[in-house]
A and B are shown apart, each in its own frame.
Chain A
Amino acid sequence: MSSPASTPSRRRGGKRGRGSNPPTRKCSQDARSPPSQKRRTDDSTSTGDLQPMPTSPPADAQSPGAPDLLFSSPPQFRHSAIPLDFDISSPLTYGTPSSRVESTPRSGVRGTPVRQRPDLGSVRKARQVDLHSDGLAEDVATTEQSLGQRLVIWGTDVNIASCKEKFQRFLQRFIDPLAKEDEDIGLDLNEPRYMQRLEEINIVGEPFLNVNCDHLRSFDANLYRQLICYPQEVIPTFDMAANEIFFDRYPDSILEHQIQVRPYNALKTRNMRNLNPEDIDQLITISGMVIRSSQIIPEMQEAFFKCQVCAFTTRVEIDRGRIAEPSVCKNCNTVHSMVLIHNRSMFSDKQMIKLQESPEDMPAGQTPHTVVLFAHNDLVDKVQPGDRVNVTGIYRAVPIRVNPRMSSVKSVYKTHIDVIHYRKTDAKRLHGVDEETEQKIFAEERVEMLKELSKKADIYERLSLALAPSIYEHEDIKKGILLQLFGGSRKDFTHTGRGNFRAEINILLCGDPGTSKSQLLQYVYNLVPRGQYTSGKGSSAVGLTAYVMKDPETRQLILQTGALVLSDNGICCIDEFDKMNESTRSVLHEVMEQQTLSIAKAGIICQLNARTSILAAANPIESQWNPKKTTIENIQLPHTLLSRFDLIFLMLDPRDEAYDRRLARHLVSLYYRSEEKMEEEYMDMAVLRDYIAYARCFINPRLSEEASQALIEAYVEMRKIGSGRGMVSAYPRQLESLIRLAEAHAKVRFSEKVETIDVEEAKRLHREALKQSATDPRTGIVDISILTTGMSATARKRKEELAQALRKLIQSKGKAPSLKYQQLFDALRAQSDTAITKEMFEEALRALADDDFLTVTGKTVRLL
């Protein structure tokens, strides 16, 4: 496409090297473009200096037009870049048919104004510090190898023509074989991906083409390498290629300015900590969190000088951050007569942003690193402090300015990144689309390793053993927590009116103090990336949910999120759940079933997502678990809340010798084990973490036919057990729990299908938890109604029987209007074959009083 003829002219004019006379050159671009004309006339009457521009031979511009563009593109087009206000008007002034008719499609390229790219452009300063500085100092000067055709940019191995051609081929042909990303919505996956993008640009009019470097790499590894190593030469080439294709296809398209290519996801994605001097001037992608952004800095791109004597004007381009003020007027040769005219100089937007390493990337015990970013033009104000972003840009190092008066220089460089592309990693978090965005990128070997692991038959046991190894036994509890970590599949029933089904599994641990509940919570909190840990005693409803604050400076209302919202997609560990006050606990109702949090406060009404699993720990009310009482009685929590827990485990101190012995051995071993062993286990924790993260991201099991059948059976069975004794022992909530548990278990196996074994395990675990928490202490029978109504069916029945017995007893006494309390109690006890406590007696009396059968006044019972 690019004609060989172009090269000479490019070399002459298109260099970024300062020496040449940019004004004339650039006008080759603008020569015939009405916009620039317009600007000139608008600008002022003194256009003397601009005269030369049109003179530059159109022919020259014609044939080499495109290549010209690209080589030179960033820096020198700066002159021709048109002030923003103008861009808007360009379509109007420009899009006349006439201008198109006579021009080749390529002229379309010329027609659309070029927007300078300061992100690539401020380069020259960096040049000098470049490590491979031997080559790059004068980058765009090209060497002719043969016949003007085989040109490479000096210091690189980039041949413009072939590079452009390759990229065009990429754009035209690339079909993503693994396309499954969320950003592909509305794209036909079987068509060349980037051509569709270009079409989109034509429709939407946003002249930016984001190119995934990963795609480029799979298409042409060499081109990718060149992009990474010489971004500031290659990207303009890409720009040019994209524009050519675009205007070839859509010659009538009107854009604000020419398309700019923005590569992202350079595979060299790295941790800030790994940046080293070799990365200077390369394309890199790093992730981090924005901690500060500056105000917009207007950066002078081109200064406008006017001679005070003869009114001759001239433009000077910025060079290494400085404007060289002309000391002599070229026209009248007066010395020091040139004056800077501010409002005719050209400025571009720039913003400084500080990016800090994300907490996950940080090695333990070190403080986070920060790096400075410069965003230009459109990218200004795209991110706010607190955002997690992936930034693609060019890494720069600038020597700290040499003071002309001092011979010594600080021997340190300042480094920054010129941003080319941002990708927010958590933008959707509060708006709740899906968790796709936080797909962790796993190395291939790692994935292999995890998959290998998942094939092991005993993976479930293995993982549960790896969980909190310092906590002894309690295997079922660990298994429960493991399933909680994996979570079920999220289901959307919005269209049938039921909204989302929660996928998160909630677990309550209750039991004796000192059974390492807190330790287990602490472990889970440390394990999951988005965990929160609070203590029931110390948290208020606001702390858990969200509160509205007025910013003291801006007087703006700000929504501050609390622990539950912060642990969206994570686990919220709540210790001392029983100590939490009533009102605080009540906010959990919504969170635990609907997984949202509604706020209506200080003029802000909103619903936040809180798709969090809750792992709570509670102590029994009498500080020691009373085995003679039910769970409800022991922890005194409202059963409405209790029924929202999928699993409720009792952590009791088992009192048997064998257990004690094992425990002792375990503890003793803690006290002399070597450091290396600890190290090994730490590795396990990392593996576990990755395993869970991978499963949560990529595995989404669905129920298989047999599995659903098994679930139905299980549920019916559970109902049957209850109905046999005249009580209900399972509710739909329990069925949902079962499904979630089964799904989680399938995830553990990395299986896309929930099978019977998963259901079996879910049933077992559920029964196990039930056995522990919902056993009626009087009958020893599992009774779900303890959790749902707070009282077991037998207890209720017993109470009723007693009341009836009492009524009969009183009636048998004949017509006595009043009875002595103690006498009656003794009589009842004598009559009954089971032991009757005073409480039971009083309860029966109260029941009868409720029936208006009698009243109790002091020590006497009066019949009514």
Chain B
Amino acid sequence: MPCVGDWLSSPFSIVQGFFAQNVPNSDWEKKVTEYFKEKLKENNATNWVPSLNDVPVHYLKPNSLVKFRCMVQDMFDPEFYMGVYETVDSNTNARVLHFGKYRDVAECGPQQEIDLNSSQSVTLERQTFYCVPVPGESAWVKEISFFWLSNASQARVSPSTSYTPSRHKRSYEEDEEMDLHPSKQKEQHMGNGSGGDIHGCVEPKRLETEASAGHHLISPNCSPPLDLNFPLPGEKGPACLVKVYESWDSFKVNDVLEVYGILSVDPALSIVNNEESSALDPMECMDTAEEQRVHSPPASLVPRIHVILAQKLQHINPLLPACLNEEESKTCEFVSNFMSELSPVRAELLGFLTHALLGDSLAAEYLILHLISTVYARQDVLPLGKFTVNLSGCPRNSIFTEHIYRIIQQLVPASYRLQMTIENMNRLRFIPHKDYTANRLVSGVLQLASNTSLVIDETQLEQGQLDSAGVHNVTALGNLITWQKVDYDFNYHRMEFPCNINVLITSEGRSLLPSDCQVHLQPQITPPNMEEYMSSLLTAVLPSVLNKFRIYLSLSRLLDYSISEEVTKAVEDDFVEMRKNDPESVTADDLHRTLLVARFLSLSAGQTTLSRERWLRAKQLEVLRKARLQQQRCVNGNEL
């Protein structure tokens, strides 16, 4: 049996081994997957596999086993490939069978030729996904997974590269911030002026697509840089063509996957294309130049991964075991361990967020509920479990909202801050749309993976004119919040993609976007220097504590929940009672919301059933929140 290094660095030899043993039947395919599955189950084995997320492609050995944590951005058409093919040696006439699985190029020796008419050959089907790294993935997720990887690779016999991580300076999150959002910096300086930098991100992209539509650029040398089609502006990281061999129907657009597969960066891939476009055969020019560029980009830019194992991820938090559903003792242990210390963690987190929200503990409470909310089911069109919070009363034109985002970024695995300026609303592309010339889905800001935190900063919004794109964008945001779906634009029709995005809106007054719950911020303290106050807050938290927060939030979101019969009864009575007293102000919507609050309140305390106390507490929170709104209204009334 091959040793450890083998299956990592030259998986083909293993596949070949199985293939040679079982040639006549197709058993070998199953055996290969099983073999790798077993291998990866071994102790920490998954950590030995180099990850495309962390290591640049050119440091990785071609045809070695790699992993990639990514989101399916687009799905290409299925392709038929030579599953098994036969080569003939032109000198000796010897015939050899080869497998085409996991390969882009049908290989054969110098003297050999492929017999296209062989009776032995088998045509099979596989599906290509265009995958990008999870959009808005927080820096800490990358850091932690990379840390584990580099630790593991030290122990490894033959690290694929001598790549020395240059990531350490990333721990200064300031730095990181700048990288991800250069816009912010500039905007701060520019004050109220146009958020000029968004052009910086979007404009070149747009120019590029126009350019590619205009010319027929055959040589990649003179073509503009390839648009890698990241949903969010300013994202980096490798995009990848992932070839899936089995059960591709189970994957959907925007699913987050972890794939283990064979890396293919064969330069032949791009060369073949060039040859092709100059070929005489009219059959070959069925694709336009743009389409070819998109569907077979240079392998150095967009590597291919031939998937051996792929799994959908429930979450991308590296601090948690990847799959929580399994009845593994390890997982259970982990969960129960954490559960035992859950309440202190919650208290600590509440304190931390209270400080962050300038001493407003009610808002902090609601923020926790928001952060663990998730759409757990849909009742026909109605998504259940979404909890969009509108944090009103945020000071205008201050860096407060930005800092709130930074803190959230530190807590959740994926997030994005959308600055709702007139400029952005009119210019950014929110809704993904299909580009039929290039035959691909051009991404938009709202193409996000499940459980991404979207922080919409409405304090940035000035008076001004929205153009039609802007109106569409606002509508799209509204739809996203109300129905948790995005209507992708397919030019001739629209298609609905359900999503599960936590939206937090920070605004001065009530937001113009719909929300499930509005919390008015009541700062208890006014720090003289906001900047200092906020950054000291983050530095004061120990990394280990921060990690606990992260685990806490991800874990609470995944817990199951139920309501017992007697509590149902109690809730019913309560509702009837409330309606009796005040039929005007208590509606079904209120009940909906209170039930949601109760749900998340229970889950945040690690309880999977609703208790009477929680229900009362939920009601109490709601009363407090509403009182504030009432109060706010009065204040405004007086002012007027």
Decide yes or no whether B382 CB sits under 8 A from chain A: yes
Question: How many Å lie between the Cα of A664 and that of B77 in the bound state?
Answer: 48
A-B contact count (CB 8 A): 218
Contact (A681, B380) CB under 8 Å given A129-B123, A321-B281: yes
Q: Are A410's CB and B105's CB within 8 A? A: yes
Within 62-109 of B, Cβ neighbours of A (below 8 Å) are at 74-75, 77-82, 85, 100, 103-109
A369 to B110 alpha-carbon distance, docked (Å)? 37
B418 contacts chain A at the CB level, 8 A cutoff: no
Closest B-chain residue to A132, C-beta based? B119
User: Is B282 a contact of A129 with CB atoms below 8 Å?
Assistant: no
CA distance A209 to B160 in the complex (A): 64
Structural contact, A672 and B562, CB atoms closer than 8 A? yes
Contact residue among B108, B269, B283, B579 (Cβ-Cβ distance under 8 Å from A655): B579
Partner of B286, one of A129, A397, A414, A516: A414
Minimum CB–CB distance from A438 to chain B (whole Å) comes to 15
| Chain B, residue nearest A136 (CB) | B117
Asked whether, in the complex, the Cβ of A663 is within 8 Å of the Cβ of B116, the reply is: no
Give the Cβ gap from A622 to chain B, nearest Cβ, in Å: 13
Cβ-defined contact, B104 with A411, below 8 A? yes
Residue B311 at the A interface, CB < 8 A? no
Closest residue of B by beta carbon distance from A363 = B249
- CA gap between A275 and B127 in the complex, in Å: 12
In the complex with contacts A523-B381, A526-B381, A678-B378, A411-B280 CB distance below 8 A: no
Q: Is B568 an interface residue (CB 8 A)?
A: yes
Contact between A409 and B282, CB atoms less than 8 A apart: no
Q: Is A415 an interface residue (CB 8 A)?
A: yes
Q: Which residues of A contact B434 (CB under 8 A)?
A: 367
Q: Which residues of A contact B113 (CB under 8 A)?
A: 407
Interface residues of A in 408-439 (CB under 8 A from B): 408-416
A280's contact among B123, B471, B576, B596, by CB below 8 Å, is which?
A: B123
**CB nearest neighbor in A for B123:** A277
Are A359 and B109 also in contact (CB < 8 A) when A523-B381, A665-B568 are?
Answer: no
Contacts of B437 in A (CB 8 A): 292
CA distance in complex: A322, B100 (Å): 27
Instruction: Please report the C-alpha to C-alpha distance between residue A125 and residue B587 in the assembled complex, in whole angstroms.
Output: 69
Q: Does B114 contact A (CB under 8 A)?
A: yes
Cβ of A134 < 8 Å from any Cβ of B? yes
Chain B residues positioned under 8 Å from A289 (CB to CB):
492-493
Residue B384 CB within 8 A of the other chain? yes
A546 contacts the other chain (CB 8 A): no
A365 lies within 8 A of chain B by Cβ: yes
Q: Of the candidates A367, A369, A672, which one forms a contact with B561 in the assembled complex, judged by CB atoms under 8 Å apart?
A: A672
Q: Which of B283, B384, B580 contacts A671 (CB 8 A)?
A: B384
A44 at the interface (CB under 8 A from B): no
Docked CA distance A412–B568 (Å): 59
Q: Does A52 contact B (CB under 8 A)?
A: no
CB B58 to nearest CB in A, in angstroms, measures 22
Convert A375-403 into 0s and 1s, putting 1 for each residue whose CB lies closer than 8 angstroms to a CB of B.
Answer: 00000000001100000000001111111
Name the contact of B112 in the complex, choosing from A365, A407, A414 (C-beta under 8 A): A407
Contact A386 B492 (CB under 8 A): yes
Q: Does A148 contact B (CB under 8 A)?
A: no
- Contact (A664, B576) CB under 8 Å given A133-B119, A407-B112, A514-B587: yes
- Complex CA–CA separation, A664 to B109 (angstroms): 73
Of the candidates A401, A514, A668, the one whose C-beta lies within 8 Å of that of B595 is A668
**Does residue A706 face the partner (Cβ distance < 8 Å to B)?**
no
- A368 located at the interface, meaning its Cβ lies under 8 Å from any Cβ of chain B in the complex: yes
A667: interface (CB < 8 Å): yes
Which residues of B lie under 8 Å from residue A280 when comparing CB positions?
80, 123
A483 to B30, CA, bound (A): 53
Among B81, B255, B268, B284, the residue within 8 A (CB) of A408 is: B268
Map CB proximity to A onto B275-288 as digits: 1 under 8 Å, 0 otherwise.
11001111110100
Is A653 at the interface (CB under 8 A from chain B)?
yes
Contact with A along B113-131 (1 / 0, CB 8 A): 1101111011111000000
Residue of A nearest to B376 (CB): A675
**Is B381's CB under 8 angstroms from A412's CB?**
no
Residues of B contacting A412 with CB < 8 Å? 79-82, 104
Decide if A411 touches B100 in the complex (CB within 8 Å). Answer: yes
* Structural contact, B439 and A370, CB atoms closer than 8 A: yes
**Complex contact A416–B286 (CB within 8 A):** yes
**A367 CA to B253 CA, complexed, in Å:** 7
Q: Taking the complex as formed, is A807 at the interface, i.e. its CB lies under 8 A from any CB of chain B?
A: no
Which one of B80, B434, B572, B583 has the greatest number of beta carbons of chain A within 10 Å? B80
**How many Å lie between the Cα of A846 and that of B51 in the bound state?**
84
Cβ contact within 8 Å between B379 and A538: no
Contact among B74, B282, B377, B572 with A675 in the assembled complex (CB-CB below 8 Å): B377
- Tell me whether A410 and B104 are in contact (CB under 8 A): yes
Give the CA-CA distance A450 to B332 in the complex, in Å: 47
A364 engages B498 (CB within 8 Å):
yes
Set of chain A residues within 8 Å of B286, measured between Cβ atoms: 352, 372, 414, 416
User: Do A661 and B377 have beta carbons less than 8 Å apart?
Assistant: no
CB-defined contacts of A403 to chain B, threshold 8 Å: 272, 275
Beyond known contacts A366-B253, A400-B284, A678-B379: 17 more, CB 8 A cutoff: A133-B117, A137-B117, A277-B125, A291-B436, A364-B497, A367-B74, A409-B106, A411-B82, A411-B104, A523-B381, A526-B380, A538-B471, A653-B587, A661-B576, A664-B571, A667-B592, A671-B595
The 7 listed contacts between A and B (C-beta, < 8 Å) are A366-B252, A368-B495, A399-B82, A403-B272, A407-B108, A671-B563, A672-B563
